[in-house]
Structure 1
Amino acid sequence: MEARTPRQVLGAAARLLNARLHGDRFPTIAPSGGDADRVFIGPTNYAGQADSWARALESARPQTRATSMKIRYGQDSFEYPADQTVPSVYSRLSRRWQHRQLRALQGYTGLLLESARPFLGGLYDSDAARQLEELGRTGVSCALLFHGSDIRDPDIHAQKERHSPFAVDRELRDRCRGMADRSRELVERTGLPVYVSTVGLLSEVEGSNWLPVVIEADVWQAGDPPLSAGLPLRVAHAPSTGIKGTDLIEESLQRLHAEKIIDYQVVRGIPHSAMPDVYRNTDVVLDSFRTGNYGVAACEGLAAGRIVVAHISEEVRRRTRELTGEELPIVEATPESLAEVLLGIVEDPTRALGIAAAGPEFVRRFHGGSRSGAVLAEWLDQHTSRTQ
């Protein structure tokens, strides 16, 4: 264990005391003990996925108990559930929490590390590889998991995608290049299995495996199909700073809205728990027009049976077809063609409605948890068979 100077000890103690005075209590420790295999998934819980994968694994492998964990930075506006939530000040500075968490995890069967983040906070100078190595010594099977910009090469993406966010935002490109470089270094340094949450990331790491994002399909189920309320076409879009391409489509959407061809709703400041109702009262969900990929937001729209419109690269559509045997039920549009695509839906919605009708079943089969649970169960079974 690395030593701290007296000044560092006093500084850490002062910050931890300040955190307690502001309501951040000493965090829980990962549960331990019992006869079940235990698996840890964290520490980012992006879009609640660590928790969703944990529940999917428990369903697929009933003899397993999975713990999802997120390190919380500031206020958590989305409030996605997790089994263990740790304020960042404790993960970074509390040796007591770090050591107790390490001891608990040393009794686990497996650990899935998200985004190359140090799951033990500041322990070992926040070196994720050293933390993984420490667990590996006690026989814990570890693997790496990536969600997007944490592993995506921004320079290659800018070459492949005309509207890549990395082609127009140098600061974003530099920041994401730093993240991706650190992740790739961890992949090389550890040699651990790699999982990615979206099809578009499979080309980023040779030999990586698809662990599909998971949503609760029933929560998003809508009673009426799109266009049941007639015209104008109800169109919803939840912007994401710089990534989805809102700036590329806003002008044409506002024009169609002014002409009363569409009723355009910008979804901001709405808690995630209220989003199913938003989607039930819309016809079209606009996702991303810069990345060429699809993820959680698109799956939520598909599960609701909405007409999901986005730009999906030919590579992602092909890989999805190879992995699922089905076409991805997302209507294609680029920023340049979006207005024309929406006008086409207004004039003759038959094709778009047919694509939307395939969405709920596509999500149930591939993003409802059973596929992801099976992937994680296979990883764990391989480990337990080697150790028996």
Structure 2
Amino acid sequence: MTSLRVLYAPRDIAGQPSTWARGMRALGVHAEVWSFGEPAFGIVPDRVWDADRLLAEPEYRWQVLDHAVRNFDVFHFQYGRSLLNAHEPLLPALWDLPLLRSLGKKVFMHWHGSDVRLRSVHMEREPDSYLKDAVVDEVRIHAMVEIARRHSDRMFVSTPGLLDYVPDAELVPLAIDAEAWRTERGPEPRVPVVVHLPSKRATKGSHLVDAALAPLHEEGVVEYRPLSGLSHSQVKAEFARADMIVDSLTIGDHGMVSVEGMACGAIAIAHVHERNRARVPGCPVVEAVGADLGDVVRRLAGDPDERARLRAESVAWVHKRHDLGTVARQLLDAYREPPVKVVADRPDWPVVEGRGRITALEAELSRLRQALGRQGDRAATVPPRSVRDRIEDNPRVHLLVRRLDGARKRARVKLVKMGALRKRS
């Protein structure tokens, strides 16, 4: 039993903080998950704070900070964001980390993916990199990691590949309630079901998956089911009937989809770079890239004995490495470590808005100027600022307009319902 009180904020990234909190509570630790703004994918945190009020009302931000400081000992932040920095227009990024440390709090930063991946590094190692056409502000990423490194007790990463970008972080495996996802499996089917459920199609290489598996579906080798936009319960139902699940082909790491699939007894297929496989020996995720995915799936479809072996190995792997109890104990050990002394090697705060951001803005300005061109015989001018632009410059007015717009929409819904009731009567 411990007296620690743990806060996970400011977002419930992929439902991981909620899972950690359940594991912590099972260990006798008080843990809560806060979300600034409504969470996605039907996730239900312990507390949701109004993101618009955080932006517009300093008193509201103070209420959040005061409540957090009074009620928690450990602050475990996500995705390069802290308790209030994303909603503070005047102070620098992650400004509250040293404040919390000065108040005797433990502070941890957890990196999850695109918050730390550097395009220059990723492109060298991944020929199908999802960052190929992306604009990544690497100066900003370096600065954010440097601030977190200097002012956190420890940093965590959620997948092995992220150690390429934050080598001094601790790898915390993706957590899942393994028993809750367990699925009873019957005999190996003649035509296996293959599911692809990306959070973002462009990020996961879905065009490569479709190109490889659509022909196999037409041949009757597999039943291919590309899915999207499902609730948490729907995902569990689909994974329970899936025989194979294709995760990302363009990142070099497997993600939560692979873990959930393996917990259900499905076979996970993804591209996992050999550097990352070496960091977690024995990982049962089947290797595939876009060029050979069709051959990999065809081979597995024709080998029911191999599928049965991989199913058993995958379930055992998830229970051993990814179960929420195992991950919670790892985190609790970190929370109990003595505080780390902050050593600043320079007095200035790193600049977060780096050259990458400036380059992207300059490119956008150039594109807009070119698009405007010339109108007849006179030079085109930049359009005047719109009413929306002027409203968004004033956070309080912006908040009022959003509230009025919400009230208008709710009134419209009520009118529609009343009209429907009149028609029935």
TM score, norm. by length of structure 2: 0.74
Instruction: Spell out, residue by residue over 1:217-257, the C-alpha distance to the aligned partner (whole angstroms, 9 max, x if none).
Output: 122211115x63x2322111013231111111212211111
Q: Hey, what does 1:199 align to over in structure 2? A: 160
CA distance in 2 between counterparts of 1:339 and 1:130 reads 49
Tell me if 1:97 matches 2:60. Answer: yes
Tell me if 1:222 matches 2:183. Answer: yes
Q: Hey, what does 1:276 align to over in structure 2? A: 236
Tell me if 1:71 matches 2:36. Answer: yes
2:322 maps to which of 356, 364, 367:
367
2:289 maps to which of 334, 343, 346:
334
Tell me if 1:248 matches 2:248. Answer: no
CA distance in 2 between counterparts of 1:309 and 1:351 reads 14
Task: For 2:83, give the aligned amino acid.
Answer: F
Matched-pair contact (CA < 8 Å) for 1:285–1:301: yes
1:56 maps to which of 23, 31, 52:
23
Task: For 2:310, give the aligned amino acid.
Answer: I
Tell me if 1:132 matches 2:91. Answer: no
Per-residue deviation, 1:259: 1.2
Q: Hey, what does 1:291 align to over in structure 2? A: 251
Matched-pair contact (CA < 8 Å) for 1:115–1:183: no
Per-residue deviation, 1:291: 0.8
Q: Hey, what does 1:231 align to over in structure 2? A: 190
Q: Hey, what does 2:222 align to over in structure 1? A: 262
Per-residue deviation, 1:145: 0.9
The unaligned stretches of length 5 or more in structure 2 are: 342-425
Describe the SS at the equivalent of 1:165.
coil
Task: For 2:73, give the aligned amino acid.
Answer: T
Question: Taking structure 1 as reference, are residues 188 and 282 closer, same or farther at Cα in structure 2, changes over 3 Å only?
Answer: closer
Q: Hey, what does 1:183 align to over in structure 2? A: 144
CA distance in 2 between counterparts of 1:274 and 1:378 reads 34
Task: For 2:21, give the aligned amino acid.
Answer: A
Per-residue deviation, 1:182: 4.5
Matched-pair contact (CA < 8 Å) for 2:153–2:339: no
Q: Hey, what does 1:143 align to over in structure 2? A: 108
Tell me if 1:37 matches 2:4. Answer: yes
Instruction: Spell out, residue by residue over 1:86-107, the C-alpha distance to the aligned partner (whole angstroms, 9 max, x if none).
Output: 2321222222221112112223
Per-residue deviation, 1:147: 0.5
CA distance in 1 between counterparts of 2:316 and 2:10 reads 31
CA distance in 2 between counterparts of 1:303 and 1:217 reads 6
Identity %: 24
CA distance in 2 between counterparts of 1:377 and 1:124 reads 34
Instruction: Spell out, residue by residue over 1:31-71, the C-alpha distance to the aligned partner (whole angstroms, 9 max, x if none).
Output: xxxx94211111121111111112222333x1x21121122
Describe the SS at the equivalent of 2:83.
coil
Describe the SS at the equivalent of 2:21.
helix
Task: For 1:260, give the aligned amino acid.
Answer: G
Question: Taking structure 1 as reference, are residues 164 and 242 closer, same or farther at Cα in structure 2, changes over 3 Å only?
Answer: same
CA distance in 1 between counterparts of 2:51 and 2:302 reads 52
Per-residue deviation, 1:287: 0.6
Task: For 1:318, give the aligned amino acid.
Answer: A
Task: For 1:315, give the aligned amino acid.
Answer: R
List aligned pairs for 1:295-334, cutoff 5 A. Answer: 295-321=255-281, 327-334=282-289
Tell me whether 120-129 or 363-372 shows the greater mean CA deviation.
Answer: 120-129
Per-residue deviation, 1:139: 0.5
1:154 maps to which of 119, 142, 161:
119
Describe the SS at the equivalent of 1:339.
helix
Matched-pair contact (CA < 8 Å) for 1:116–1:182: no
CA distance in 2 between counterparts of 1:267 and 1:86 reads 31
Matched-pair contact (CA < 8 Å) for 1:58–1:373: no
Per-residue deviation, 1:185: 3.6
Per-residue deviation, 1:110: 1.2
CA distance in 2 between counterparts of 1:176 and 1:354 reads 44
Task: For 1:190, give the aligned amino acid.
Answer: H
Per-residue deviation, 1:128: 4.1
CA distance in 2 between counterparts of 1:127 and 1:118 reads 12
Tell me if 1:87 matches 2:42. Answer: no
CA distance in 2 between counterparts of 1:79 and 1:146 reads 22
Per-residue deviation, 1:179: 5.8
Task: For 1:59, give the aligned amino acid.
Answer: A
Matched-pair contact (CA < 8 Å) for 1:219–1:276: no
CA distance in 2 between counterparts of 1:113 and 1:223 reads 36
Q: Hey, what does 1:14 align to over in structure 2? A: none
Question: Taking structure 1 as reference, are residues 293 and 379 closer, same or farther at Cα in structure 2, changes over 3 Å only?
Answer: same
Per-residue deviation, 1:123: 3.7
Task: For 1:66, give the aligned amino acid.
Answer: A
Question: Taking structure 1 as reference, are residues 289 and 380 closer, same or farther at Cα in structure 2, changes over 3 Å only?
Answer: same
CA distance in 1 between counterparts of 2:333 and 2:89 reads 31
CA distance in 2 between counterparts of 1:305 and 1:176 reads 39
Matched-pair contact (CA < 8 Å) for 1:308–1:356: no
Q: Hey, what does 1:19 align to over in structure 2? A: none
